[in-house]
Amino acid sequence: MSSPEALDWLLLSLGRAFCTPFSVFIQIQGCVICLLLGIGWALAASVRNREINRIKYNMRNGNNFAFLCHNINELEHSNQVNLPTVTVIMPLKGFGEHNLRNWRSQITSLYGGPLEFIFVVDSTEDPAYHAVSRLVSEYEDHVDAKIIVADFATTCSQKIHNQLVGVENMCKDSKYVLFLDDDVRLHPGTIGELTKEMEKNPNIFIQTGYPLDLPSGSLGSYCIYEYHMPCSMGFATGGKTFFLWGGCMMMHADDFRKDRCGVVSGLRYGGYSDDMTLAAIAGAHKELIYSPPVAVFPHPLASDLNFGRYWNYLRKQTFVLESYVTRTNWIMNRVLFVAHCYLSWGFVTPYVMAIIHIVAALRFYVKGYSYEEMAYGLSLVGFLIVCTFIALFSMWNLTRIEVHLCNLLSPEAPRLSLATYNWCLVFVAMMVGNFLYPISAVRSRLSQYINWSGILYYLEDGKVSRIERVPRSKDMRPVFTDLGGKHLFGKKGLTRRNSFMGFWSSLAQWGQPKKHA
User: Other CB atoms closer than 10 Å to residue 302's CB: what's the count?
Assistant: 23
CA distance 356 to 378: 10
Is the pLDDT at 487 greater than 60? The verdict is no
pLDDT value for 505: 43
Whether residue 178 is predicted with pLDDT greater than 90 in this model: the reply is yes
pLDDT for 509: 43
Contact 346, 30 (CB under 8 A): yes
Q: Name the CA dihedral angle for 236, 241, 243, 244, rounded to a multiple of 10 degrees.
A: 90
Render pLDDT for 192-204 as a digit per residue (tens, 0 to 9): 999 999 999 999 9
For 39-70, letters b (16+ CB in 10 Å) and e give ebbbebbebbbebbeebeebeeeebebbbbbe
> Chain-centre distance of CA 285, in angstroms?
25
Q: What percent of the chain has pLDDT over 70?
A: 85
Q: Give the confidence band of 101 by pLDDT, cuts at 50, 70, 90.
A: confident
Q: What pLDDT shows up at residue 6?
A: 65
pLDDT at residue 362, as a whole number: 73
135-156 per-position pLDDT tens digit: 999 888 888 999 999 999 999 9
Backbone phi, then psi, for 464, in 5-degree steps?
Answer: -65, 120
pLDDT digits (tens, 9 = 90+) for 212-251: 999 988 999 999 999 999 999 999 888 899 899 999 999 9
Residue 445 pLDDT exceeds 80: yes
Q: Supply the pTM of this predicted model.
A: 0.86
CA pair distance 72, 412, nearest whole angstrom: 19
Residues in CB range of 26: below 8 A, 6 or more apart? 346, 349, 350, 353
Tell me which of 149-153, 354-358, 485-489, 500-504 is least confident. 500-504
pLDDT value of position 56: 94
Residue 20 amino acid letter: T
| The pLDDT of residue 39 | 97
**Amino acid (1-letter code) at residue 489:** F
Specify whether the CB–CB gap between 155 and 142 falls below 8 A: no
Q: How many CA atoms within 13 Å lie on the side-chain side of 2?
A: 2
Spatial CA neighbour of 142 closest among 178, 122, 117, 160: 117
DSSP string for residues in 143-208 = -EEEEEE----SSS-HHHHHHHHHHHTS-TT-SEEEEE-TT----TTHHHHHHHHHHH-TTEEEEE
* Highest mean pLDDT, choosing among 19-23, 108-112, 171-175: 171-175
Which of 228, 390, 431 minimizes the C-alpha distance to 313? 228
| Distance between CA atoms of residues 122 and 161, nearest Å | 9
Q: In sequence order, what DSSP letters do the residues of 275-296 get, joined into one string?
A: HHHHHHHHHHTT-EEE--TT-E
The identity of residue 231, as a single letter, is C
Q: How many helices (H) and strands (E) does the chain have?
A: 16, 13
What HEC string does 62-73 produce?
CCCCCCCCCCHH
φ/ψ region of 240 (left if φ > 0, alpha if ψ in -120 to 50, else beta) reads beta
- Above 80 in pLDDT, residue 271? yes
221 touches 304 (CB < 8 A): no
pLDDT tens sequence across 373-400: 566 667 888 899 999 999 999 999 999 9
Q: What is the pLDDT of residue 471?
A: 73
- Could you write out the DSSP letters of every residue in 341-397? HHHHHHHHHHHHHHHHHHHHHHHHHHHT---GGGHHHHHHHHHHHHHHHHHHHHHHH
In the predicted structure, residue 512 carries a pLDDT above the cut 50: no
Of residues 149 and 26, more confidently modeled: 149
pLDDT one-digit tens code per residue, 348-364: 999 988 887 777 777 66
Would you state the pLDDT for residue 306? 83
Cα 259 to chain center, whole Å?
27
User: Quick one: pLDDT at residue 193?
Assistant: 93
Nearest CA to 54 among 193, 154, 161? 193
Q: Output 345 or 238, whichever has higher pLDDT.
A: 345
Looking at the chain, the whole-number percentage of residues with pLDDT higher than 90 is 58
Band of the pLDDT at 484, cuts 50, 70, 90? Answer: low
- Does the pLDDT at position 69 exceed 90? no
Q: Give residue 417's identity as a one-letter amino acid code.
A: S
